[in-house]
Structure formats: C-alpha cells, structure tokens
Amino acid sequence: MSVTRLLVLGGVRILQPAHGYLVRRELATWQIERWANVAPGSIYNALRTLTRDGLLEEHEADIAVGGTGPAARATYTLTADGESEFLRLVRDALWQLHPYEPSRLLAALSFWWALSRDEVIAALEARRSQIDARIAGIGYEAETSGRTPPRRTTSWSTCSSTRHTCAGSASGSRRCWNGCAAAPTVSPGRTSLGGLADPSLVRELFNLD
C-alpha cells in the first residue's frame, strides 16, 4: 500500500484540487500498472481510504469529470497530515533500501523534486553507503562459505571539480544538482509528466545492466 499511497498523494499534490478521474488518468500515463503493479481501479479505493484517514480532503466541484454521479464531482486536496505523509513516504523510499520492492525507489524518483537538492544528494550518498555495506557483507559471507565473492560493477562518475546528477522535468527542461560527490551520471530527458522516472533511468543510475 505504501507505493500506492505515495503515488496517489503525489498525483493529488500535483493536480490539486484534483478530480479522481484526472488523478487516475495522470498516473495511468506513468504506466504505474506495469512497474508498480497498481491497477487503475485501485486509485479510487486509495482516494477513499486516504480521505477516511484524514490525509486528503474531499470537496464538491461545480463540474463533473469522468462521469455524472456524485463521485464525478468530487475533488481532492492534501491536508496538512497528507503533506507530511507524502514527504515521509518520499524520504523513506529514497533514504532506505527496499531491495525486494524496487517500485518504491521508482515512485520516489517521481517526486524527488519535492525535496531540497541537498537532501536528495545526501539520500543518494546514503543509499550508496548502504549498498556498499551489503556488498561487503556478501563478500565476507561468500569467503566463509567457500564461494567466489561477487564483483562490484557499480561505476560512479568522477570529475575533477564537481559531479552532478540531472533529470528531465515535466516541461522538458533540465534540473541539475551540482556538487553531488560521487553521484552517477544520468542521461537527461528520461522522465515523463509529473517527474516519473523511466525504469531504464534507474537501471542506468545504478549501472544495473
């Protein structure tokens, strides 16, 4: 549910006041069903749940969108608690490793523009340290078991003075974070509307191929 909550809160945050139909249509363009396993119908369930939990506030609009019933007139905005929960979920997905849930990182990369440049840099550095620690641990475990330790294949870009990570914004302009020590080089223009990172971008970011 964490990925769905993050995506729906983020979608509402971008479009608010947002009709549920527009949130569903926007997230569908991000192809979340493919990489996050979030079915379009679950968007409406998430909107109701988040409203019940006090993270969203429902309003009645003058114009119906996507239908004719009361639900088509409902619009949503984030509450103060919803804004806090959205940022918490983005931070958790960026700062913490979730090796069996890669969709968390993909969702976080969709909204990393909501955080400051310094925090994004620090989060990526922290992820690198955690990955290094896990790789080192696997190597020692392999040595004690007599297996060949895995080789580290991650290659981090190095420049003489500054290093940077760039990502394309929704408008197609480039957003760069300069001074990111040991940050990997990423090809620009690899995001879709709302800042969604293409899965291949993440593979390039961490040299997973």
* pLDDT in the model for residue 145: 72
One domain for residues 92 and 178: no
One domain for residues 7 and 98: yes
CA pair distance 54, 75, nearest whole angstrom? 15
Cα angle vertex 72, ends 66, 78, to 5°? 110
| Domain around 99 | 2-108
Question: pLDDT tens, 185-204?
Answer: 333 334 433 444 455 555 45
Question: pLDDT tens, 33-67?
Answer: 888 988 878 899 999 999 999 999 998 766 655 54
CA distances from 48 to 19, 33, 55 (A): 12, 19, 10
Q: What share of the chain is helix, strand, coil (3-state, %, to 5)?
A: 50, 10, 35
CA pair distance 55, 48, nearest whole angstrom? 10
Q: Is-above-0.75 flag for pTM?
A: no
CA pair distance 160, 145, nearest whole angstrom? 41
One domain for residues 70 and 98: yes
Question: pLDDT tens, 146-178?
Answer: 666 555 544 433 333 333 333 333 333 333 333
One domain for residues 152 and 57: no
- 132 pLDDT higher than 60: yes
Least confident of 85-89, 132-136, 205-209: 205-209
Percent of the chain with pLDDT over 70: 63
Which is more confident, 186 or 97? 97
One domain for residues 35 and 94: yes
One domain for residues 85 and 102: yes
Query: Of 45, 74, 108, which marks where a domain is finished?
Result: 108
Which is more confident, 36 or 207? 36
One domain for residues 54 and 121: no
Closest CA to 106 of 204, 207, 179, 35: 35
* pLDDT in the model for residue 206: 52
Domain count, the chain: 2
Mean pLDDT, the chain, rounded, equals 74
- 96 pLDDT higher than 70: yes
Q: Is the peptide bond before 199 cis (omega within 30 degrees of 0)?
A: no
One domain for residues 136 and 200: yes
One domain for residues 79 and 124: no
In the sheet that holds 18-19, the strands lie side by side as 18-19, 74-78, 56-60
Which is more confident, 146 or 122? 122
One domain for residues 7 and 87: yes
One domain for residues 95 and 16: yes
- 125 pLDDT higher than 70: yes
Which is more confident, 29 or 160? 29
Instruction: Report the range out of 134-143, 176-185, 189-198 with the highest average pLDDT.
Output: 134-143
Query: Of 54, 89, 108, which marks where a domain is finished?
Result: 108
- 117 pLDDT higher than 90: yes
